[in-house]
Structure 1
Amino acid sequence: MGDDSEYTEITYRVADRIATVALNRPQARNGYTVRMADELAAALDRADADEEVRVVVLTGEGKDFCVGADLSQGGFDFDAETGPGPEWQEPAGRCSKRIFAMDKPVIAAIHGAAIGGGITITLSADYRLAATDARFGFVFTRRGIYPEGASAWYLPRLVGLGRAVDWMVSGRVFGAEEAHTAGLVHSLHEPGELLDAAYALAAELVASTAPVSVAVTRQLLYRMSGMDSPLPVHELDSKLIGSITSNPDAVEGVLSFLQKRPPEFRLRAGADQPDFLPWRQEN
């Protein structure tokens, strides 16, 4: 199990190779703060570095997932008179950017309100599961502020430009059914069954998928699907497929299928990805 002692606004625990990261300011409806942003990034770092962790479930304590920024807690971490420095990063992006870079899949389990930063931090997650009582809003224009968390990049890719424009320009709040129909969330569940569904999905990924294959595949999708041509994608695919002759997970995947048994993949997501992947050079 994980140790929560180093966190004040989230909780972190590990069981069955699944890390659960939960926003933990229920008295403030999980209002998002700079401290919470940094604790989320640290917890995601921790989960990514732990080879025993295969999947992360991101959720919230209390009745709401997150009602967005809580500026009553002191605002941003820069001097209001001098403004932010060139290296400053807005808080929602500190979380969504870290999820984007993960080697492990992230499942967001969303209930109650997911407003502003409360939804933008989840847009880079691999799955968003929602309770039927969930409601969503990219409410920035109604507050005189701007979309964050790189949501103007993620949202049109998830739901199409037309729907993204509607939601972001109007800033209106909408329900779980509309979110599901548009593709913002993958599935809907009764509130009492939401976490069980998230853990069932996580357990399936743990039992059935290869850690390195998952890590490479999610980065291929995020980093290569926006290319102007398929040719650079095919070039990288060719290197990847050419490497499987020395990949023990590929052998195990075939053998386990032929022998009708669960696979036992050995390669580690953090240490055993191919060195030639272009994004590996960033680290």
Structure 2
Amino acid sequence: MSDFETIRFDVDRGIATITLARPERMNTMNATMTLELIRALDTADADDDVRVVIVTGEGGRAFCAGADISGGAETFDYSRRDAAVRAEAERGGTYRDSGGRVALRIFNALKPVIGAINGAAVGAGATISLAMDVRLAAEPARFGFPFVRRGIVPESASSWFLPRIVGISTALEWTLSGRLVGAAEAKERGLVRSVHAPDELLPAARALAAEIVENAAPVSVALTRQMMWRMLGSDHPMDAHRLDSRLVQALGSSADAREGVGAFLEKRPARFEGRVSADMPPAFPWWTEPEFQDQKSER
């Protein structure tokens, strides 16, 4: 698409690639990029031709070097920001940080999101990637959570995401020290799935995306992604059992379920016709239903 200023959005063979495109500023996030990332994810979710999203950065130096701090020492003082920016960020009398808005939009996505971390991912560049389903890194990539070194605290809901990905001890080590973490350590601690030579990063991300595009039912993928993320916040497996039961029953009579079993028995590739835009079961979104939230006595 050509109507973005700070990112590129391209779709090819079911894969949407969002490229952070401010290489002259190491792809740092500003207010425009925040809004454009949210809009790009909205576009991907609404397009049934998009099955997987890859997010990467332009150039070899940075995935995203965090917030654009060209405003100087007052960068994080919301009261000094442009009135239009403040109005956009304010909700219910408080300000919502930009990275958090992007991270929560990724969390709510109906398509898998793969991070292809091509270079420095620092501050918001590191934290927004935590909401992505899988992260791959180039060998030169570095991750940094330097908030305590800037006199602020971790943002982008990273206090929820990071401990769930790498464990509380590693999350505290990285955020309390604010040091840079290399790609090899990030892989060892579970932050990234794999490390690649720079020219092999995007092909590896696309190969992973293609495996989903070519083999998985879109409605099943959307539901499974939301099940996994949202059950991280549940305090009992009965919640998952109740949800599993509802959704298996809802999809069991679908054309996709018949096709999936038929293709397996006939030893041929499945041809799934279900669309995320039109064929999600009535039980979705289950987390808004009071009866699902209140049925604790069944445990």
TM (normalized to structure 1)?
0.93
Percent pairwise identity: 52
Give the alignment partner of residue 113 of structure 2, picking from 77, 99, 106: 106
CA contact (8 A) 1:19 1:53 kept: yes
Gaps of 5+ in 1: none
For the pair 1:11 / 2:8, whether they are aligned, the reply is yes
Whole-angstrom CA distance in 2 between matches of 1:88 and 1:253:
46
Q: Aligned letter for 2:46?
A: A
Match of 2:103 in 1: 96
For the pair 1:236 / 2:243, whether they are aligned, the reply is yes
How do residues 1-283 of structure 1 correspond to structure 2 at under 5 angstroms? Answer: 3-4=1-2, 6-63=3-60, 64-72=62-70, 75=75, 79-80=79-80, 86=93, 88-279=95-286, 281=288
Deviates more, 1:94-103 or 1:271-280: 271-280
The C-alpha deviation readout for 1:71-102, integer Å capped at 9, x for no partner, is 32595795429985625321111211111001
The C-alpha deviation readout for 1:121-151, integer Å capped at 9, x for no partner, is 1111111010111111101011111111100
The C-alpha deviation readout for 1:167-202, integer Å capped at 9, x for no partner, is 011111010010001110011111110000011111
Residue 77 and residue 264 in structure 1: after superposition, are their counterparts in 2 closer, same or farther (change >3 A)?
farther
Residue 275 and residue 88 in structure 1: after superposition, are their counterparts in 2 closer, same or farther (change >3 A)?
farther
| Number of residue pairs aligned between Structure 1 and Structure 2 | 279
Q: Aligned letter for 1:147?
A: P
Residue 127 and residue 94 in structure 1: after superposition, are their counterparts in 2 closer, same or farther (change >3 A)?
same
Deviates more, 1:99-108 or 1:268-277: 268-277
The C-alpha deviation readout for 1:39-72, integer Å capped at 9, x for no partner, is 1000110011011100001001012101111132
CA contact (8 A) 1:65 1:113 kept: yes
Please report how far the alpha carbon of residue 244 of structure 1 lies from its aligned counterpart in structure 2 after TM superposition: 3.1
Q: Secondary structure at the match of 2:280?
A: coil
CA contact (8 A) 1:38 1:94 kept: no
Gaps of 5+ in 2: 290-299
Q: Secondary structure at the match of 2:80?
A: coil
Q: Secondary structure at the match of 1:59?
A: strand
Whole-angstrom CA distance in 2 between matches of 1:188 and 1:215:
27
CA contact (8 A) 1:33 1:73 kept: no
Whole-angstrom CA distance in 2 between matches of 1:10 and 1:250:
37
Q: Aligned letter for 1:146?
A: V
CA contact (8 A) 1:34 1:76 kept: no
Q: Aligned letter for 1:114?
A: A
Please report how far the alpha carbon of residue 247 of structure 1 lies from its aligned counterpart in structure 2 after TM superposition: 1.1
TM (normalized to structure 2)?
0.88
Q: Secondary structure at the match of 1:235?
A: helix
Deviates more, 1:250-259 or 1:98-107: 250-259
